[in-house]
Chains A and B, each alone.
Chain A
């Protein structure tokens, strides 16, 4: 595999995993951008984090694909917030991505675990 292929794979993995992370977190319930950012950081033990200038463009991209839908929610005495929820199409994509990701992780585990066995 060439260096370019490795970089392309790395980019695709990051992009695909970022979408998977967002869709998975929103599958549980609607959340706003800052909450998503905090959850990814804390649940990954600080290993994963989104910068503000990549998190929101990613949310807007998923929104343009109609995988998630953002809605402004107003509460008394508080500033309105934009909450995102997964659409039906987003859930179908999430199911496919989970399947693909599981297969990928299993394949990598077989390769890397084979030497130790």
Chain B
């Protein structure tokens, strides 16, 4: 049998087999090392067939064509290889593009779902912890946002100041009897009306001052049940200090009757 690697006997070179096989593997995504193995293995097969035909008296060129006729078509090998796992090799050195990144994300998601399904106990505990954590964080942030991050809903709210009287240490009002927390010694207390009037007359710091007094009057319409209201008694300058207008009625003036302005809601 002539040596196919010897060019003098018209035998096909091994490189010839390899190129024929590689052209049929072009559309298959094989790892380079795996492709080299397949090319080597199939080259040997074709060479064995060629040797057998030549040993049987066939012309080397005819034998070459007969050996290659073992391939039924240019794409049959690729079609038969396509369902195999090894035919879907992902090149780690491939440039990262958008589709490639999303493909990786989808693969990670699928793997994560499989892993979570395999451990239902862990999954349930993790979901409960996550739910409680997110809920607690949301609640705390809502309070911080309302109290710290957002300002009061008034014009130039950062210029609003609460002013009051603070009793001297040990000399203030006695704590009322009964249960409940002790009053905060640093909290500002009630201002006596005369002091408030003196502040208005003598202060040179504020643009305007208003006094506020929490009240809970009881309201009762004829024939209806009495209803307790959440209200505040304010001085006439209240709306000017906050730069707001009442929802119903007119802003208070020093001469306004107490019922002319009946409400404002934040």
Complex-state Cα separation, A53 to B82, whole angstroms: 12
**Once the chains bind, are A53 and B80 in contact (CB under 8 Å)?**
yes
Number of A-B contacts (CB under 8 A): 53
**Once the chains bind, are A64 and B42 in contact (CB under 8 Å)?**
no
**Once the chains bind, are B76 and A34 in contact (CB under 8 Å)?**
no
B13 to nearest A CB, angstroms? 14
Complex interface: chain B residues within 8 A of A58 (CB): 80
**Once the chains bind, are A52 and B81 in contact (CB under 8 Å)?**
no
B77 to nearest A CB, angstroms? 4
* Interface segment, one of B45-53, B90-98, B143-151: B45-53
**Once the chains bind, are B71 and A53 in contact (CB under 8 Å)?**
yes
B12 to nearest A CB, angstroms? 15
**Once the chains bind, are A34 and B81 in contact (CB under 8 Å)?**
no
A113 to nearest B CB, angstroms? 36
Which residue of A is nearest B48, CB measured?
A: A34
Which residue of B is nearest A37, CB measured?
A: B45
| Interface of chain A residues 11 through 53 with chain B (CB within 8 A) | 32-34, 37, 51-53
Complex interface: chain A residues within 8 A of B48 (CB): 34
Complex-state Cα separation, A33 to B42, whole angstroms: 9
**Once the chains bind, are A52 and B71 in contact (CB under 8 Å)?**
yes
Contact residue among A57, A72, A82 (Cβ-Cβ distance under 8 Å from B80): A57
Confirm or deny: A81 has a beta carbon within 8 angstroms of a beta carbon on chain B: yes
Complex interface: chain A residues within 8 A of B37 (CB): 72, 82
Number of interface residues of A (CB under 8 A): 18
Complex interface: chain B residues within 8 A of A32 (CB): 44
Known contacts A33-B41, A37-B45; A54/B84 CB under 8 A = no
Known contacts A60-B86, A64-B86; A54/B80 CB under 8 A = yes
Confirm or deny: A104 has a beta carbon within 8 angstroms of a beta carbon on chain B: no
Complex-state Cα separation, A61 to B84, whole angstroms: 6
**Once the chains bind, are A52 and B70 in contact (CB under 8 Å)?**
yes
Confirm or deny: B24 has a beta carbon within 8 angstroms of a beta carbon on chain A: yes
Contact residue among A34, A53, A64 (Cβ-Cβ distance under 8 Å from B49): A34
A112 to nearest B CB, angstroms? 31
**Once the chains bind, are A53 and B24 in contact (CB under 8 Å)?**
yes
B139 to nearest A CB, angstroms? 53
**Once the chains bind, are A82 and B71 in contact (CB under 8 Å)?**
no
A96 to nearest B CB, angstroms? 22
**Once the chains bind, are B84 and A82 in contact (CB under 8 Å)?**
no
Confirm or deny: B265 has a beta carbon within 8 angstroms of a beta carbon on chain A: no
Complex interface: chain A residues within 8 A of B42 (CB): 52, 56
Complex-state Cα separation, A52 to B85, whole angstroms: 20
A36 to nearest B CB, angstroms? 10
Confirm or deny: B257 has a beta carbon within 8 angstroms of a beta carbon on chain A: no
Confirm or deny: A109 has a beta carbon within 8 angstroms of a beta carbon on chain B: no
**Once the chains bind, are A54 and B44 in contact (CB under 8 Å)?**
no
Confirm or deny: B174 has a beta carbon within 8 angstroms of a beta carbon on chain A: no
Complex-state Cα separation, A81 to B84, whole angstroms: 22
Complex interface: chain A residues within 8 A of B173 (CB): none
Contact residue among B72, B83, B84 (Cβ-Cβ distance under 8 Å from A53): B72
B214 to nearest A CB, angstroms? 80
Complex-state Cα separation, A33 to B76, whole angstroms: 18
Top-3 shortest CB links A-B? A57-B80, A53-B77, A52-B70
Known: A56-B42, A82-B37. 16 other contacts (CB 8 A): A34-B45, A51-B71, A51-B76, A52-B46, A52-B77, A53-B71, A53-B80, A56-B45, A57-B77, A57-B84, A58-B80, A60-B86, A61-B83, A61-B84, A72-B37, A79-B44
